[in-house]
Structure 1
Amino acid sequence: MFRRKFIKAMGMTAAAGMLPSYAHAANEGEEKIFSTHVPGSDREYLWKLLADMATPVLESMSKGELHKKMQVEVSPTWDGRDKRVAYLECFGRLMDGLAPWLTLPDDDSEEGKVRKKLREQALMSYVHAVDPKSPDYLLWRKEGQPLVDSAFFSSALLRAPKHLWEPLDKTTKERIVTELKLLRRVKPPYSNWLLFAAMNEAFLLSVGEDYDPMRVDLAVKKINEWYVGDGWYADGERFHFDYYNSFVIQPMLLKVTEVMVEANRMEKAIYEQALRRIQRYCEHLERLVSPEGTFPPIGRSLTYRTGAFQPLALLALRKQLPDKLTEGQVRAALVAVHQRIFNNPSNFNEDGFLTIGFAGHQPELGDSYSNNGSMYLTSESFLPLGLPANDSFWTAKTEDWTAKKAYRNDKFNKDYPVNY
């Protein structure tokens, strides 16, 4: 909407090696930095960036034109699955990060008007998502991948039930329930996939539908068996040094256990343990942000970009940050990583859809399952936008994050392992 329109007006794509006039290309031998950020508040920067991301998707899908408008990009190592999985990935993942922001009340500000429009488009998009007669009916009943992205779809509805679920018409609600139940056809492997099945069942329970307790109990028990200590879980029998604790494991475990506890289907101690562990994990995430706002490019699904910071964003939204992290330092760190990643205009294609890459268009970084729809998991790092503008998260004094303090020879907290 904002950055996207400017880039299109310039008639350029970074993939073609061209830079807009406002970008600074470093002198030979210097680091190249792209500067597209217009000065303003931290909140303004983040909501406009999220709006840039969401608008092409929801403008198209609300009219039943996502399949028509979104050109699917797949990685060079694509595994051959039906490329139409990209559209459910795109919509489900985007909505999970966008949902909290859409819960804020309408107002006459620029942000409020954009937010209201996106909410209205999202509701129309849900209708198309499950209408078999719509050109944008999503790929629910083929391949195993839809189990993954149905969980993000369900999670978004759990994050904003009064704004995204309750306003839907009866037919659309029934169709959503049907599609989620039919996905029980997919047998999840013993990995983070167990949580996708559990998330759908948690949502079904939350709306008064029959749910499969075995798919929830198995997921929670196995994930806890795979806990390796100090706030980290393995993804299956072996530990992987990547961001899947951020992308899936920690946030979904927290939400599933919370829903179960609220429904008196699980002991509260299980949820409380998950909360303590994600808080500890967030202490690590915050320390991974370098003084310059970069973070380690490690592991699978690196192209999910700032989605690596979903737990930090989530606990900020929930007002559950660990005591060692202040809102001012977390906000500053999150803004810094977004600026470092998204200042390169090639993160978006000429039509405004995300491209495959980490800090720009880098398709070679894609995994065998990566398409540009997958990239919308990056929206998960925008969750604090669900807090109103006058919340202390936005008004607190900006503070340096840990690494910035450390390399300036300032005082900062030492770090010790935990035994929970």
Structure 2
Amino acid sequence: MRSFKKTFIFLLVAAMCLNNQALLAQKNKTANSAITTGQQDREYWSNLLYKMASPVILNLANNTLRKNMPVEVPPGAKPDFYKKVTHLEAVGRTMAGVAPWLALPDDDTREGKMRKELRLALLKGIVNAVDPASPDYLNFRTESQPIVDAAYMAQAFLRAPKALWEPLDSLTKKRVAEEFKALRTRTGAYNNWLLFAGINEVFLMTIGEQADPVRIQYAQNKIKEWYVGDGWYSDGPGFSMDYYNSYVIHPMLVDFFKVLSARNRVKTEEYDLALKRMIRYSEFSERFISPEGTYPAFGRSSTYRTAAFQALGQVALMEKLPEYIQPAQVRCGITAVMHRMYDQCNNFDSNGWLVLGFCGSQPMIADSYTSTGSLYMATLGFLPLGLPADNKFWTDPAADWTSKKAWSSQPFKKDYHVEY
């Protein structure tokens, strides 16, 4: 009898384990098979980006951003300082992420209507952001942090000039220029911040304002000096193993040199080399994506979430991926990350604002400089939405990314150090 009970209990436990494994397998299968075409991937990306960006953009348009956006700060920090800078953080970073998407022409699709709504709202919001009489007048004038977030705004204008800059009225354009010039009263950290100051100046150059050549030259020289090889830059004199090569350095440096090259301020070879290095770095980014759609959570600013794939996304947007990396495998890899991060982790509060964390609410991992507005760096992972829906990035059949090939016994390209 005792033997029978043991056997029965063993079989019951085994059955429960098998059932749980089957349920888990079915759950994973369902999650992995929910998006099967590029068109469905694009719909998922655009809906997710709209969900993320719309609270920032629509509130700014309605002069309710300061009123409605929460200011979540790291444990133990006092929110007074963050309230001075977090709203510009949210706006600048969101603008840089949505700019390529909003630059696409209007159409009558559901996605096209979402794009048009956000574009028109953002144009209205930019007017409010630089109007001193507006409740949502953003702070460019005090603290050093605005140097950073003005730079993301500048990058948005450079990425989508016809959609986001040219339609602005002349008074708003003048006010934007004055706010950017006011940033010159401050300096920032001796690292990627030099690039922020530099891109603010080249933006001013593109709109006919006198740029500060010292800030441009300093950014140009120091960032080049901090290249350590094989597609990686040091963020300042000391190397940091983190995602700042994607958050800031590669995408902003390429955009910076693009402007200077077009105006014969640097040799074309300098732009070409910066682009070549970003392409090399994008190879690492693609390999970081695990077969399950995760990626390593290391280094500073892990709360920036999908901004870790800005460089890879920009290379895809520019249609400059290495020959062995097919656009569909980048699409599928990043889509897997998005599903893993945004479907399985609750990264939004009840009102749709991003929360401090990496996978859900994890305020203890937030850095001392991080608050709610900082988190909108995550939009930078969506740059390939700037490719039209009929581009092969979206139309090619699904494809496995490198680590998925490697861990399923498929052939994959060997990787070697490069010399440039």
Is 1:57 aligned with 2:56? yes
Question: What is the alpha-carbon distance in structure 2 between the residues aligned to residue 355 and residue 272 of structure 1?
Answer: 38
Question: What is the alpha-carbon distance in structure 2 between the residues aligned to residue 333 and residue 70 of structure 1?
Answer: 32
Is the Cα–Cα contact under 8 Å of residues 354 and 376 in structure 2 kept in the other structure?
yes
Greater share of helix residues, 1 or 2?
A: 2
Please list every run of at least 4 consecutive aligned residues from structure 1 whose deviation after the TM superposition is greater than 3 angstroms: 30-40, 77-80
Instruction: Kindly state the Cα deviation for residue 139 of structure 1 after the two structures are TM-superposed.
Output: 1.3
Q: 1:77–1:57: structure 2 CA closer, same or farther, 3 Å change rule? A: same
For residue 299 of structure 2, what is the aligned residue in structure 1? 299
Instruction: Kindly state the Cα deviation for residue 83 of structure 1 after the two structures are TM-superposed.
Output: 2.0
Letter in 2 for 1:273: L
For residue 268 of structure 2, what is the aligned residue in structure 1? 268
Question: What is the alpha-carbon distance in structure 1 between the residues aligned to residue 231 and residue 315 of structure 2?
Answer: 14
- How far does the alpha carbon of each residue in 1:89-140 deviate from its partner, in whole angstroms, 9 at most, with x for none? 0010001010111111111111111110110000001001100100000111
For residue 158 of structure 1, what is the aligned residue in structure 2? 158
For residue 173 of structure 2, what is the aligned residue in structure 1? 173
Letter in 1 for 2:81: R
Question: What is the alpha-carbon distance in structure 2 between the residues aligned to residue 95 and residue 36 of structure 1?
Answer: 30
For residue 233 of structure 2, what is the aligned residue in structure 1? 233
* Equivalent position SS for 1:323: coil
Instruction: Kindly state the Cα deviation for residue 37 of structure 1 after the two structures are TM-superposed.
Output: 10
User: Following superposition of structure 1 onto structure 2, how do residues 138-149 of structure 1 map, counting pairs within 5 Å?
Assistant: 138-149=138-149
Is the Cα–Cα contact under 8 Å of residues 198 and 216 in structure 1 kept in the other structure?
yes
Question: What is the alpha-carbon distance in structure 2 between the residues aligned to residue 36 and residue 325 of structure 1?
Answer: 21
Letter in 1 for 2:184: R
Question: What is the alpha-carbon distance in structure 2 between the residues aligned to residue 409 and residue 261 of structure 1?
Answer: 44
Question: What is the alpha-carbon distance in structure 2 between the residues aligned to residue 319 and residue 77 of structure 1?
Answer: 45
Q: 1:369–1:36: structure 2 CA closer, same or farther, 3 Å change rule? A: farther
Q: 1:52–1:35: structure 2 CA closer, same or farther, 3 Å change rule? A: farther
User: Following superposition of structure 1 onto structure 2, how do residues 204-353 of structure 1 map, counting pairs within 5 Å?
Assistant: 204-344=204-344, 346-353=346-353
Instruction: Kindly state the Cα deviation for residue 216 of structure 1 after the two structures are TM-superposed.
Output: 1.2
Instruction: Kindly state the Cα deviation for residue 59 of structure 1 after the two structures are TM-superposed.
Output: 1.5
Question: What is the alpha-carbon distance in structure 2 between the residues aligned to residue 253 and residue 108 of structure 1?
Answer: 36
More displaced stretch, 53-62 vs 190-199: 53-62
For residue 105 of structure 1, what is the aligned residue in structure 2? 105
- How far does the alpha carbon of each residue in 1:27-78 deviate from its partner, in whole angstroms, 9 at most, with x for none? 8xx8998969975711000000000011111121101110011111111153
Letter in 2 for 1:153: M
* Equivalent position SS for 2:54: helix
Question: What is the alpha-carbon distance in structure 2 between the residues aligned to residue 241 and residue 88 of structure 1?
Answer: 27
For residue 4 of structure 2, what is the aligned residue in structure 1? none
Q: How many residues align?
A: 394
Is the Cα–Cα contact under 8 Å of residues 348 and 354 in structure 1 kept in the other structure?
yes
Question: What is the alpha-carbon distance in structure 1 between the residues aligned to residue 417 and residue 324 of structure 2?
Answer: 13
Is the Cα–Cα contact under 8 Å of residues 35 and 343 in structure 1 kept in the other structure?
no
Is the Cα–Cα contact under 8 Å of residues 333 and 401 in structure 1 kept in the other structure?
yes
- How far does the alpha carbon of each residue in 1:195-235 deviate from its partner, in whole angstroms, 9 at most, with x for none? 00011011011111100121111111111111111000001
Question: What is the alpha-carbon distance in structure 1 between the residues aligned to residue 188 and residue 266 of structure 2?
Answer: 22
Is the Cα–Cα contact under 8 Å of residues 303 and 356 in structure 2 kept in the other structure?
yes
Question: What is the alpha-carbon distance in structure 2 between the residues aligned to residue 254 and residue 214 of structure 1?
Answer: 19
For residue 84 of structure 1, what is the aligned residue in structure 2? 84
Question: What is the alpha-carbon distance in structure 1 between the residues aligned to residue 76 and residue 403 of structure 2?
Answer: 36
Letter in 2 for 1:127: V
- How far does the alpha carbon of each residue in 1:213-267 deviate from its partner, in whole angstroms, 9 at most, with x for none? 2111111111111111100000111100000000001111111011000011111
Is the Cα–Cα contact under 8 Å of residues 286 and 401 in structure 1 kept in the other structure?
yes
Is 1:44 aligned with 2:43? yes
* Equivalent position SS for 2:398: coil
Return the TM-score normalized by structure 2: 0.90
Question: What is the alpha-carbon distance in structure 1 between the residues aligned to residue 357 and residue 402 of structure 2?
Answer: 27
Cα RMSD (Å): 2.0
- How far does the alpha carbon of each residue in 1:380-401 deviate from its partner, in whole angstroms, 9 at most, with x for none? 1101111110111101121100
Is the Cα–Cα contact under 8 Å of residues 88 and 146 in structure 1 kept in the other structure?
yes
Q: 1:352–1:109: structure 2 CA closer, same or farther, 3 Å change rule? A: same
Is the Cα–Cα contact under 8 Å of residues 129 and 137 in structure 1 kept in the other structure?
yes
* Equivalent position SS for 2:256: helix
Question: What is the alpha-carbon distance in structure 2 between the residues aligned to residue 82 and residue 353 of structure 1?
Answer: 16
Letter in 1 for 2:298: I
Is the Cα–Cα contact under 8 Å of residues 100 and 159 in structure 1 kept in the other structure?
yes
Letter in 2 for 1:184: R
